[in-house]
């Protein structure tokens, strides 16, 4: 599947994902609401889709997965639009949906969504246009919200980041961020880990660990930040059949359960440790996991009138978690990059040089690696692994030529073990 087909398939999946686990009546209402809205389809632009089209996409996904949502790309797709009536509507929509977004943010979204070409007009033009047409953001609206709780474990997980304290690393102090996932029914923290960055890799690392321990969730509820809107995350959810749902911008109360856990964590865990005596982030994560296992999961939770771990275990009797093997998760969480091989059969990844078989000299190759094992980098051809590459070893190269590490040989060695 080429990039255009993949982008459109992922966008279609994002539209129908929430309906995967709805009843017939809920799905009918949801599709009717979607059909009334305009959607900015990659390479196509602003367009409405009927309930029948949305139902057809859902059926195609259920029968053939993400690949079945890929269209035949037209030759005239992706033509950029100038400031026209349609572009004006997009600008008004962005201001309405994201009232706190800056002019720069609106401009980047116009470019990213394919409504304009980068450089077609600048931010100054956009700013003057918004000022001239008096396109001011509306006052914040208070949305009706009711308390809810899912009936079964792994029906709904909520995920988010929160800022933490600074941790000393040598002579410097670095800001910490906690990524966490909570099961709505049991309040079990299915995944949580401290990182130095708040990014999509940290979230994917946390999510993979959570899936390996507690199984796959039906629905993943996050905020609307860019960390949770990457093609990489959409691809993971599409492969696993997870409905990825985003809250309204700046609507933290809708994710109250994970927010309350963060408050509990800061009050009980952060206040109980001596950060000055912690040597690195690995030690902090070890202490944090101990606190989760021995304290949080085994203490009475006032919201459910039970201990989170007990409630989760009771829930497994009503619904068995959907588990995947470590190898299956590795394949699903593979990250993909590309590099062009130089004349010495070498490529560079994050300032580390790797050597590849000489048959790839001068060629652009596709590379994949598990999110939690970035040193295991495979060359892929036609969606299949063909060779495992390794860092340049000058001493070894001085004694014998490098012929590559081939997938079939390694697979046979695994089978023999």
- The answer to whether residue 48 sits within a structural domain is yes
Token pair 């201001």: residue = 95
Looking at the structure, tell me whether residues 187 and 271 fall in a common domain.
yes
Give pLDDT, residue 410.
56
Domain boundary pick from 132, 147, 173: 132
Looking at the structure, tell me whether residues 388 and 274 fall in a common domain.
no
Looking at the structure, tell me whether residues 120 and 29 fall in a common domain.
yes
Number of domains observed in the structure of the chain: 3
Looking at the structure, tell me whether residues 191 and 304 fall in a common domain.
yes
Give pLDDT, residue 411.
57
d(CA 243, CA 250) in angstroms, rounded, equals: 21
Looking at the structure, tell me whether residues 85 and 199 fall in a common domain.
no
- The answer to whether residue 94 sits within a structural domain is yes
- The answer to whether residue 149 sits within a structural domain is no
Burial of 308 (0-12, 13-18, 19+ CB in 10 A): buried
- The answer to whether residue 137 sits within a structural domain is no
- The answer to whether residue 84 sits within a structural domain is yes
d(CA 55, CA 215) in angstroms, rounded, equals: 28
> pLDDT digit string (tens) for 73-89?
444 344 333 567 777 88
pTM > 0.85: yes or no = no
Looking at the structure, tell me whether residues 126 and 164 fall in a common domain.
no
Give pLDDT, residue 76.
37
Looking at the structure, tell me whether residues 8 and 65 fall in a common domain.
yes
The DSSP call for residue 375 is T
Tokens of 167: 């941790």
- The answer to whether residue 147 sits within a structural domain is no
All residue ranges of the chain with pLDDT < 50 are 73-81, 137-145, 250-251
Instruction: Let me know: does 388 contact 377? Beta carbons within 8 Å.
Output: yes
Domain boundary pick from 270, 301, 327: 327
Give pLDDT, residue 197.
92
- The answer to whether residue 138 sits within a structural domain is no
Helix then strand count (H, E) for the chain reads 14, 15
Instruction: Let me know: does 167 contact 275? Beta carbons within 8 Å.
Output: yes
- The answer to whether residue 140 sits within a structural domain is no
Domain boundary pick from 296, 327, 358: 327
DSSP SS3 for 301? strand
Using CA atoms, how far residue 12 sits from 4, 41, 59, 202, 256, in Å, is 12, 8, 12, 26, 29
Phi, psi of 358 (to 5 degrees): -65, -20
Looking at the structure, tell me whether residues 218 and 282 fall in a common domain.
yes
Looking at the structure, tell me whether residues 169 and 70 fall in a common domain.
no
> Which residues lie below 8 Å from residue 294, measured CB to CB, with a gap of 6+?
none
Looking at the structure, tell me whether residues 190 and 260 fall in a common domain.
yes
Nearest-5° Cα angle at 23, 314 to 59: 115
Tokens of 101: 């977004």
Give pLDDT, residue 75.
43
DSSP SS3 for 367? strand
Half-sphere exposure of 157 (CA within 13 A, CB side): 27
Give pLDDT, residue 374.
85
Give pLDDT, residue 77.
41
> Which residues lie below 8 Å from residue 301, measured CB to CB, with a gap of 6+?
187, 307, 308, 311
Give the length of the chain: 417
Looking at the structure, tell me whether residues 293 and 342 fall in a common domain.
no
* Full domain range(s) for residue 284: 156-327
Instruction: Let me know: does 41 contact 7? Beta carbons within 8 Å.
Output: no
Looking at the structure, tell me whether residues 162 and 304 fall in a common domain.
yes
**CATH code of 218's domain:** 3.30.420.10
């Amino acid at each position: 599947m080429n990039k255009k087909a993949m982008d459109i398939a992922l966008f279609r999946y994002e539209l129908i994902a929430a309906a995967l686990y709805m009843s017939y009546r809920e799905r009918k209402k949801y599709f009717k609401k979607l059909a009334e809205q305009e959607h900015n389809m990659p390479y196509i632009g602003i367009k409405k889709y009927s309930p029948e089209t949305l139902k057809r996409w859902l059926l195609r996904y259920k029968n053939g997965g993400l690949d079945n949502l890929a269209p035949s790309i037209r030759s005239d797709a992706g033509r950029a639009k100038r400031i026209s009536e349609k572009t004006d509507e997009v600008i008004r929509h962005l201001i309405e949906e994201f009232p706190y977004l800056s002019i720069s943010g609106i401009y980047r979204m116009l470019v990213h969504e394919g409504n304009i070409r980068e450089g077609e007009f600048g931010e100054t033009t956009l700013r003057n246009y918004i000022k001239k047409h008096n396109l001011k953001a509306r006052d914040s609206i208070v949305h009706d919200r009711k308390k809810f709780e899912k009936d079964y474990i792994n029906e709904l997980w909520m995920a988010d980041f929160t800022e933490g304290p600074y941790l000393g690393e040598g002579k410097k102090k670095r800001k910490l961020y906690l990524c966490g996932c909570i099961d709505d029914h049991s309040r079990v923290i299915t995944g949580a880990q401290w990182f130095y960055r708040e990014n999509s890799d940290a979230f994917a690392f946390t999510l993979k660990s959570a899936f390996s321990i507690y199984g796959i969730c039906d629905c993943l509820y996050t905020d609307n930040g860019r960390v949770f809107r990457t093609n990489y995350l959409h691809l993971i959810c599409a492969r696993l059949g997870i409905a990825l749902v985003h809250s309204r911008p700046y609507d933290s109360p809708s994710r109250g359960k994970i927010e309350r856990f963060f408050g509990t964590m800061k009050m009980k865990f952060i206040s109980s440790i001596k950060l000055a005596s912690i040597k690195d982030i690995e030690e902090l994560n070890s202490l944090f996991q101990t606190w989760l296992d021995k304290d949080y999961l085994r203490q009475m939770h006032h919201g459910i009138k039970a201990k989170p771990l007990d409630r989760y275990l009771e829930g497994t009797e009503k619904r068995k978690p959907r588990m995947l093997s470590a190898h299956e998760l590795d394949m699903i969480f593979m990250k993909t990059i590309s590099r062009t091989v130089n004349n010495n059969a070498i490529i560079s990844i994050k300032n580390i040089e790797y050597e590849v078989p000489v048959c790839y000299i001068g060629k652009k190759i596709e590379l994949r690696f598990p999110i939690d094992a970035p040193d295991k980098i495979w060359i892929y051809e036609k969606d299949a692994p063909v060779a495992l590459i390794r860092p340049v070893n000058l001493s070894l190269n001085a004694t014998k030529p490098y012929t590559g590490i081939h997938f079939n040989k390694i697979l046979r060695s695994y089978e023999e073990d």
